[in-house]
Structure 1
Amino acid sequence: MDDLATARLVLHRMSPGEAEQVATGASDGSVRWAPGYPSEGDRAGAGRFLGVCATTGDPWPCGAFEIRRREDGHATGGLGFHGPPDHDGSVTIGYGLVPSAQGKGYASEALRALLSFARARGITRVRGDTDHDNTASQRVMTAAGMRLIAEDERLKYYEITWTTDTATVTA
């Protein structure tokens, strides 16, 4: 099974067809969407995934996931990789939840699962970034084990790297 399960969530591996529905905001009704889903960020992430599929093929295992609550199956957001690993084994991630699902620890839970998934597949570095004023996202990345490594006038940059035995942070 390609889905990832956590205590409260299912991270559903999106197919290109499902990503097309998210990108256009036009569901075929096979999945229940929470109010507000897909957000602008979800549509952009699905579009990015479709672009990668069009240029390089399905980037599995570095694709896109839909965040679904186990309790009711509703899609509440998305997360995934911006593309396949680079030559150094590094990837960039993104994630987001609809407002009704925020503040419940779902994003941290989902990101921890994605990081574990990445590490198990030999990815050596995961990067993410957020706006300076997005303290919630900063807390999510920190809670999942990522560390602030740099910032500029617009963004804060987070990262986690792994050696063969332990997760370490690099500057």
Structure 2
Amino acid sequence: MNMPLTTERLIIRDWTADDAEAALAVYGSGDVAHWLTPAMDRVGDAAAMRSVLQAWTEAQPNLAAPRGRWAVQRRKDGAVIGGLGIRLLPPYEEDLEISWQLNPQVWGEGYATEAARALIAWAFTQHTDELFAVTRPNNHRAIATTERLGLQWVGETDKYYGLHLQVYRIRAGDPGAKGEDVTSGL
């Protein structure tokens, strides 16, 4: 993969064990974990977060592009402020889901849209025809982000993760699929 991806304000790169404290501020937050799909408890401490990051970094080389999990790092100060992922949706593992999670301290600053837009643009260079995002019906922030990214509402389903979710999709030819202000490498 041609990582890291850079945008005007962000670097999207592989996770490292050194990111545990910053990642804990995201995945250890009840405000974030409450909305995650699949449903999961928040990560309890830095040691547990390090274990999660280790599992992600070990799995990464074995995933076919564009699948993976990446850290979102702010360029101006080097702070890791969130994570992105592209993975297969259950149960049939045919559809690719894009997801984003940010530290609640940076919500509302446009970082989720900027990071996800870059990842979407990259994913469509990897022989991918479409990506999906799934949100819980009351997750207004995630729904607004999907709309800013140009994802189109498909409908509601109980198919994924045993949860009632709203489904959004973007295809390679859709507006927003090519991203903007995105460069590959540093």
Q: TM-score, normalised by structure 2?
A: 0.66
Q: 2:128 aligns with which of 123, 126, 132?
A: 123
Q: Is residue 2:25 matched to residue 1:36?
A: yes
Residues 64-111 of structure 1, C-alpha deviations (whole Å, 9 max, x = no match): 110111111111110011249xx9974112111011111000000111
The answer to whether the Cα contact below 8 Å between 2:65 and 2:126 also exists between their aligned partners in 1 is no
Q: Matches of 1:97 and 1:70 in 2, distance apart?
A: 15
Q: Matches of 1:124 and 1:57 in 2, distance apart?
A: 21
Q: 1:135 aligns with which of 123, 137, 140?
A: 140
Change (3 A) 1:49 1:114: farther
Unaligned stretches of 5+ residues in structure 1:
28-32
% identical aligned pairs:
24
Report SS of the residue matched to 1:50.
helix
Q: Is residue 2:80 matched to residue 1:91?
A: no
Name 2:6's counterpart in structure 1. Answer: 5
Q: 1:157 aligns with which of 156, 167, 171?
A: 167
Which residue identity lines up with residue 168 of structure 2 in the other structure? Y
CA deviation after TM superposition for structure 1 residue 57, in Å: 2.3
CA deviation after TM superposition for structure 1 residue 129, in Å: 0.5
Q: 2:82 aligns with which of 77, 96, 108?
A: 77
Report SS of the residue matched to 1:103.
coil
Which residue identity lines up with residue 71 of structure 1 in the other structure? K
The answer to whether the Cα contact below 8 Å between 1:11 and 1:110 also exists between their aligned partners in 2 is yes
**RMSD in angstroms over aligned alpha carbons?**
3.5
Q: How many residues align?
A: 150
Which residue identity lines up with residue 167 of structure 1 in the other structure? D
